[in-house]
Amino acid sequence: MSYIPVINFGKQPTHANGFVTKEEFGTEPFYDMVIGFDEETDAIRLMEPAAREVMFNDKYAFYSKTSKKMQKHFADTAEELKDFLGDGEVAVEIGSNDGIMQDAWKALGKQCIGVEPSGNVAEIAKNAGHTVIDGFIGRDVANKLLSEYKVGVVYGANVSCHITDLDEYFDSVARLIGSHGVFVFEDPYFLDVYEKCSYDQFYGEHTWMFTVKFLERKLAEHGMEIFDLKPLWTHGGSMRFYVQALWGKHKVNKRVAEQKEKEGDILFKLNDLSKRIQTSKEGLLNILELVKDKRVCGFGATSKGVVVTNYCGIGPETLPFITDTTPTKIGKFYPGSHIQIVSQNETDYSQFDYIVNFAWNHFDEIKEARKDFKGKWITHVPYPRIT
Ligand code: TMP
């Protein structure tokens, strides 16, 4: 595959979820965050993905259970997927994090085995009584699972786009599902990013930005096909792909071909997006300039916010802090932009005129919970504005 550079975000911290202490300022690694496109396969990905061990280790800062809405999302998902499980079969979840989806399977009386390389989040799932295999998914882990279980469903939420070596990954999944099982995965989707200009879905952990065109081809190389799709609200716009062995028992829904048609000229869209991202940056900086004499803080210390603040050049002089609920983030600073993270529960939002929302994908849930805030929200998605 040969990638041409299409979007350039300049220098970004290698690990967007790598929150730092004051003593660590200046030690965090950076890389040129450039998005590439391969015209032959329609692949969109980071030109220089970081080594997976840099991001997924015992200090992984993202805990899935922080959002109530996500708990409901996974409960609904397990309810839907349970019909794919045959007698005596288990589900396997790739990137099971703190066990949010394993809880949902358990509530339905079904077993789900997790595979998780980040020890700190896996510990929470284990403490809740779930079985988790420590490590990255690969052929060895697949063989181990097959020696112990009959696998009916393999599921991955916001994890497949993190896996740089898709060949080993898809090969492992193909072994796990065999000719009878299904592989269901959901990730941020290119057309949503394009339409919402949600450029902060590009960051170090997200090696790939998926399109149906690319996935169809890549999965076929491993003897699998997409038989259905479902657009999701998660992560600001994701796509769920339903996959089986080629010519499997599920009829291929016409939605798959229709969605591919909608993707159209991807290179044209990427070039257009690149220009709109630049405009979005200027718009957000103009708004922050307008409110510079007001009381402003940030909300949700997301990795998306790390991309936005580093790309736009927003530092502590503009945003004194960002609030968050995650204990391991509180007290630390954003890598690169060095904005401090403070506890959401200890913040008196009534003292602020404006909040910049970096967790814009959870806005409904946040607005509902933040009735104490009487000021206005600032967002950059789908375009910079004060709401
Ligand atoms: P995400 O957008 O990648 O799901 O990350 C959500 C982050 O926002 C996570 O660090 C938790 C934080 N958060 C809050 O601090 N307060 C909230 O009310 C919500 C919904 C999320």
Q: At residue 40, what are phi and psi to the nearest 5 degrees?
A: -75, -40
Question: Per residue in 96-128, pLDDT tens?
Answer: 999 999 999 999 999 999 999 999 999 999 999
Tell how far the Cα of 302 is from the centroid of ligand 1, in angstroms. 6
**What is d(CA 305, CA 298) in angstroms, rounded to the nearest whole number?**
9
Q: At residue 50, what are phi and psi to the nearest 5 degrees?
A: -80, 160
Q: Determine the pLDDT at residue 317.
A: 97
Question: Per residue in 325-344, pLDDT tens?
Answer: 999 999 999 999 999 999 99
Question: Per residue in 172-193, pLDDT tens?
Answer: 999 999 999 999 999 999 999 9
Ligand 1 atom 8 nearest Cα:
300
Please give the number of the atom of ligand 1 that sits closest to the Cα of 370.
18
- pLDDT above 90: residue 54: no
Q: What is the DSSP string of 200-222?
A: GG-STT--B-B-HHHHHHHHHHT
Q: Determine the pLDDT at residue 53.
A: 83
What is the pTM for the complete model shown? 0.94
Burial class (CB in 10 A: 0-12, 13-18, 19+), 231: middle
Q: Determine the pLDDT at residue 233.
A: 94
| H or E segment and range at residue 141 | helix 139-148
Nearest to 278 by CA among 12, 13, 44, 9: 9
Tell how far the Cα of 361 is from the centroid of ligand 1, in angstroms. 9
Q: Which residues line ligand 1 (CB under 6 A)?
A: 66-67, 300-302, 324-326, 344, 359, 361-362, 365-366, 369
Q: Record the tokens describing residue 8, joined without a space.
A: 């350039």
